[in-house]
A and B are shown apart, each in its own frame.
Chain A
């Protein structure tokens, strides 16, 4: 429950800023200014937009299936928001302590497909239906590389609990109940016998503990872009072909909730990616001799300082990840539907399966 207290307000705030950031980043990439009129430097543009959205009339098409149409945005948002329940925020502030953490996340997030189908079918419009069919086909296909890349991390870290995975990448590794005597070695290779447990910092991040996870992180990044329907995989809402895809007929507050869940999905996969690959709430700064940067910038679990440091690292890394997602959106052209399916089934999935094999081998080096 406790993390929900944080995530719901944070998600709303983040969406306001993310929409603004997206406009600015797209503008800078295309050599424009972006919003400049409302407030200094266009700061209040999104706030103004939100006010407009809330005031808008909630239009339900006459021939739409009312129940499905009205329920769909709630289903989409609930499915995605459930995923936040198990994310650890700091070294002592965690969500659900379920041992099935990441397994539950994968299962529950895939349910937003139900909502998308409800939206597309319920709206009784060709654009919506086509958009939702595309979205579902895409999400179901790209779930496979996402799941496989998460599985690689699970093979390396031998745990499904996200907090345990976080502690393994920490300078505080021995604080965690089951990891008292675990040691981290450079690149995870035990025979090299370079003990980096006390170094901390980026040396104990998963991509350094097991460099085999670097290509896995790339696969994860690409396929989560498709999962959250972001460009270059935004075919479900390709405006030149489908107007706006499965949310063509939505207006006002319901549309806002669908947008909120899209940005929520971006944040969710960003935080999950940071936890799995880039050291979760751990500092990037290592201990160097007497200058114990890692210990200074992590703090002790349970103290206020420790919580502040770890939440700072987690959120700022996640924000960088979101920025990379936006950067990709405005740099690459959209894929065609057959190219999209090819990429998932013929390239990402086989590579991910191969990398699972490699992660298994790397795990053998680590023990």
Chain B
């Protein structure tokens, strides 16, 4: 067992434990902090799997962007209302049944799937970022541009929503 493998399993375990923490904590704020930990571990798994670009992107988008916004919103609502936001559980029986079924189907399919790459050694390109950049600008140009337009629309939408409404004069 070398160091990288050990770290890989450590972060895998951390990701699972913190994901369970998200599920079993009733306080929403703590759940969000567990989610940060979980995303962090997933980012580390990416990095250990030689996909450091995706790992950093995970950090930047999920932890640095989405989760900070979530915490921001949660903190404001709890401080304004004075109540702690607590999740409640409904439909327990149905949930357990669905969860078990889904888990068994997933694990059955994953274990019976034939992952060819697992048995091959893949050669890493020397400059991974260059490959990603060239591919984004050639092979995957249309998805890339569509994502850009989507983000632009979201940006304009946010600006429009947060604009100060002028009083309509009759």
Contact = CB atoms under 8 A, between A and B. Distances in A.
Interface of A: 98-100, 103-104, 106-108, 110-111, 113-114, 117, 120-121, 129, 133, 136, 140, 160
Contacts of A104: 52, 56, 59
Given A107-B56, A129-B75, A136-B72, 17 more contacts: A98-B52, A99-B52, A99-B129, A100-B52, A100-B53, A103-B56, A104-B52, A104-B56, A107-B57, A107-B60, A107-B64, A113-B68, A114-B36, A117-B71, A120-B75, A121-B75, A140-B68
A106 B129 contact: no
Interface residues of B, number: 20
Contacts of B76: 133
B139 interface: no
Given A99-B129, A100-B129, A121-B79, A110 B64 contact: yes
Interface of B: 29, 36, 52-53, 56-57, 59-60, 63-64, 67-68, 71-72, 75-76, 79, 127-129
A96 to B, nearest CB: 10
Contacts of B57: 107
A111 B129 contact: no
B75 A117 contact: yes
A114 B53 contact: no
Nearest to A104: B56
Given A121-B79, A136-B68, A111 B53 contact: no
Interface core residue of A103, A106, A129 (most chain B CB under 10 Å): A103
A107 B57 CA distance: 8
11 contacts: A99-B52, A99-B129, A100-B129, A107-B59, A107-B64, A108-B59, A110-B60, A110-B68, A111-B64, A121-B79, A129-B75
A99 B128 contact: yes
- Which secondary structure dominates chain B's binding surface? helix
Contacts of B68: 110, 113-114, 117, 136, 140
A7 B17 CA distance: 33
Contacts of B127: 99
A153 to B, nearest CB: 15
Contacts of B64: 107, 110-111, 113
B27 to A, nearest CB: 10
Nearest to A159: B129
Contacts of A103: 53, 56, 60
A129 B36 contact: no
A129 B76 CA distance: 9
Contacts of B36: 114
A100 B128 CA distance: 9
Among B53, B57, B60, B63: residue with most chain A CB under 10 A:
B60
B128 A106 contact: no
A100 B36 CA distance: 22
For the complex of A and B, 6 pairs with smallest distance between CB atoms: A107-B60, A110-B64, A107-B59, A121-B75, A104-B56, A107-B56
A318 to B, nearest CB: 24
A160 B127 CA distance: 11
Contacts of A110: 60, 64, 68
Contacts of B29: 121
A104 B55 CA distance: 9
A199 B52 CA distance: 37
A61 B165 CA distance: 42
Nearest to A116: B68
B128 A111 contact: no
Contacts of B129: 99-100, 160
Contacts of B63: 111, 114
A100 B71 contact: no
A103 B47 CA distance: 14
Contacts of A111: 59, 63-64
Given A117-B71, A129-B79, A106 B60 contact: yes
**Most chain A beta carbons < 10 A, residue from B59, B64, B72, B79:** B64
Contacts of B53: 99-100, 103
Nearest to B61: A107
Contacts of A160: 129
Contacts of B59: 104, 107-108, 111
B42 to A, nearest CB: 14
Contacts of A133: 72, 75-76
A80 to B, nearest CB: 14
Nearest to B47: A98
Contacts of B71: 114, 117
